[in-house]
Structure 1
């Protein structure tokens, strides 16, 4: 167990960044392999993969919510209690993961049909979703174990697990799909490579948790305690899952708006996302590291250190986002030359990269402030603000500025800047107005509160 309250944000964050980068690279490898098969295969799988990615992302955020509960209990010096949390979280991830796996396997063809796929495209999409979606329970367990490792400060071990998974995936694709002496299984081979690599990563994570680090799980003594722990885990995880879910849906609507503006703008948006997503990964990793560190401090009741660490990390995140956005803006000509030879798409892409200065610093502040709020128990406010502002401000403004007012893609970027900076302001006001940054727990049903007296 790491020393209580003695976890450095940067030492926690850089492995998380590499872990996120490795996971992102795994998706790029799959897309590249599918492109080597055929454009039809890549297009069909790309359509259904939005569903699979959405589901797997939810498990990831569920694991992060559990990680915060574990970190707070570790900070309070309650090793027995946290072992019970691990056990209950494992049950939740198994049950939910199995339910999703069965649903996606059985309904794969229906889901692919809803995505507009027909004929050979439908067959490609169904095959991929049955295998990758059917293995969702594996991703669920990987996310749960990753949360356990992160809460205990072992983010580097979680990073190694992600890198190992990526290496296995690449190896299997080379053997099952691309090798002239292999079976050349096409889409089925890519999907099997992803599922088997995830299984290998899960086995590696299990070895790390139970044998290498020797973290122990313990079954709660009574059914009442089990229900209370489950309610607490859900109370921390559900808001953390809802905000990115609504964000993902908003991105689908945004893509439709941009496609109505023009195909050149849509292509430029897709290309520049690969760059801005990297900056977003850095901010996300920093916020996750901050949340773990503050969770330990919140459990230990070290209010002054919470204030100081949150202030310094939030400022560092904004400065880093400004610097990275400035570098990408200045490098726009070189970056876009690597994606396209079309001058109109390149010009639109360069504009989008410069627009990062308008919203990426605000995005960083949102992530780090939301993590600070969640660490002291305020998990609902960031989710509510994110959902309401995104759907009530950003989407209507993006539509109005881009299409009726004729600003095109620039209108979408202005709306995004308004959205990100407004949410950052509201988060900051909430953080500054917390009296003494006192710890609070998400509101639970009254019977659950009575059943969890040992955790108050």
Structure 2
């Protein structure tokens, strides 16, 4: 790699824009819900259910963009710029096709999809409107995610951050106009929010395309779409499908655990939501470091800098653990005040405070997984984290949540202990894999 490239690929330079982007997604991702709360509680519930369904669609888009990020980073590191562009073109085409297929599915079959959720009749119409509009144009998000993965792999994480900021500002302005109806603009409620979300994404897509052609030098070989190399598709699927399987498995296991928590009552469910709202902020640092590490390790693997890649993974892990530990301590000190933002129920605040204290142990374990799984993925070792993840999620987290939380009546504290056991077991196994360098033999699959 050139000195210029190395300068761009310092962990801090890559990570802070990713952190801000993730923070914006966390704070603004529920902007529709927050602003609709001033309009109608019923509308909030309808949009909430629709977004829960659409989040599964977004996960499905992620498997192509995940493979894209790894393959392009490796090829850039190997100085195979033409191959990197080929992968970019194939990725955009595949996610466009996949995105259109899922969008049409949601658009035409939103009624039976909502029927599966057994919605109350009063929510059905508004949920259907939101799902039809936002889901029908979901392919826009698929392309944005893919272009974002491409641009980040070249080291330009700030550009994607700026696009995210712009999309959020446009979305909030649109929400305000259609919810509160200033200047004589008609109040459209849920329909207006759906339109605002879709328009902001469309403008974001235009900006992403401009950034793509501006930041990546040379022409893209779009003519190759008539004869797409099978090797690129195979490599994208080899990385993306297992990664998507891991995400789907995690979401499914969390749904089962939520079902267990529901046995404990509404107060327990509410406590879980509030605590996770607080701890999500703690996770952002680890997530940003993990994504930055994936880009750097991918470049190093492509450049055959295997020892540097090994050291980079461990150094990033140390930083993530230290940050997670001290952030969790800070959250614990101010836990009652943080939870007080959401509720005045003292029982919820008391239980939630104990759970946040347990995050001092939980979050460093989670950092192990976020950083090392991304590092292993960047090296092409994608199956091992999936196998271990599924084994631990369904062999430790789910059964232990029931045994401790329900059978031994430890409630949410028992569930959180199960989370700790799951994260640390997986984390230790990931560390052993990284230190044993079992990933070295996987690198040959993607970069010759």
- TM-score normalised to structure 1 length: 0.93
Between the aligned partners of 1:350 and 1:442, the Cα distance in structure 2 is 48
Secondary structure in 1 matching 2:79: coil
Secondary structure in 1 matching 2:229: helix
Q: Which range is displaced more, 246-255 or 219-228?
A: 219-228
Between the aligned partners of 1:209 and 1:117, the Cα distance in structure 2 is 41
2:19 matches 1:17 = yes
Q: Which range is displaced more, 65-74 or 115-124?
A: 115-124
Partner of 1:41: 43
Instruction: Report how many aligned residue pairs link the two structures.
Output: 445
**Contact persistence 2:90–2:228 (CA under 8 A):** no
Between the aligned partners of 1:56 and 1:222, the Cα distance in structure 2 is 24
Partner of 1:297: 300
2:269 matches 1:270 = no
Partner of 1:128: 130
The Cα RMSD (Å) is 1.9
- 1:385-404 correspondence runs (5 A): 385-404=388-407
**Contact persistence 1:236–1:442 (CA under 8 A):** no
Task: Check 1:409–1:51 CA distance in 2 against 1; reply closer, same or farther (3 A cut).
Answer: same
Aligned counterpart for 1:202 among listed residues 185, 200, 205: 205
Secondary structure in 2 matching 1:171: helix
Aligned counterpart for 1:320 among listed residues 298, 319, 323: 323
- What whole-Å deviation, never above 9, does each CA across 1:307-328 have from its counterpart, x for those lacking one? 2211111011001100111110
Give 1:334 deviation, angstroms: 1.1
Give 1:23 deviation, angstroms: 1.9
Secondary structure in 2 matching 1:141: helix
Partner of 1:182: 185
Partner of 2:158: 156
Give 1:38 deviation, angstroms: 1.1
- TM-score normalised to structure 2 length: 0.95
Secondary structure in 2 matching 1:440: helix
Task: Check 1:166–1:39 CA distance in 2 against 1; reply closer, same or farther (3 A cut).
Answer: same
Task: Check 1:136–1:284 CA distance in 2 against 1; reply closer, same or farther (3 A cut).
Answer: same
Q: Which range is displaced more, 237-246 or 139-148?
A: 237-246
Between the aligned partners of 1:266 and 1:137, the Cα distance in structure 2 is 33
Uncovered stretches (5+) of structure 1, i.e. residues with no partner = 444-451
Secondary structure in 2 matching 1:167: helix
Secondary structure in 2 matching 1:37: coil
- What whole-Å deviation, never above 9, does each CA across 1:136-184 have from its counterpart, x for those lacking one? 1000000010011110000000101111110110111111222342211
Give 1:358 deviation, angstroms: 2.1
Aligned counterpart for 2:433 among listed residues 424, 430, 434: 430
Uncovered stretches (5+) of structure 2, i.e. residues with no partner = none
Aligned counterpart for 1:62 among listed residues 45, 50, 64: 64
Between the aligned partners of 2:215 and 2:424, the Cα distance in structure 1 is 44
Between the aligned partners of 2:287 and 2:57, the Cα distance in structure 1 is 19
Between the aligned partners of 2:218 and 2:343, the Cα distance in structure 1 is 49
Q: Which range is displaced more, 1-10 or 110-119?
A: 1-10
Task: Check 1:301–1:118 CA distance in 2 against 1; reply closer, same or farther (3 A cut).
Answer: same
Partner of 2:312: 309
Between the aligned partners of 1:94 and 1:232, the Cα distance in structure 2 is 18
Between the aligned partners of 2:25 and 2:392, the Cα distance in structure 1 is 29
Task: Check 1:66–1:122 CA distance in 2 against 1; reply closer, same or farther (3 A cut).
Answer: same
- 1:20-419 correspondence runs (5 A): 20-180=22-182, 181-211=184-214, 213-214=216-217, 216-219=219-222, 226-419=229-422
- What whole-Å deviation, never above 9, does each CA across 1:300-350 have from its counterpart, x for those lacking one? 011221122111110110011001111101111211222111111111111
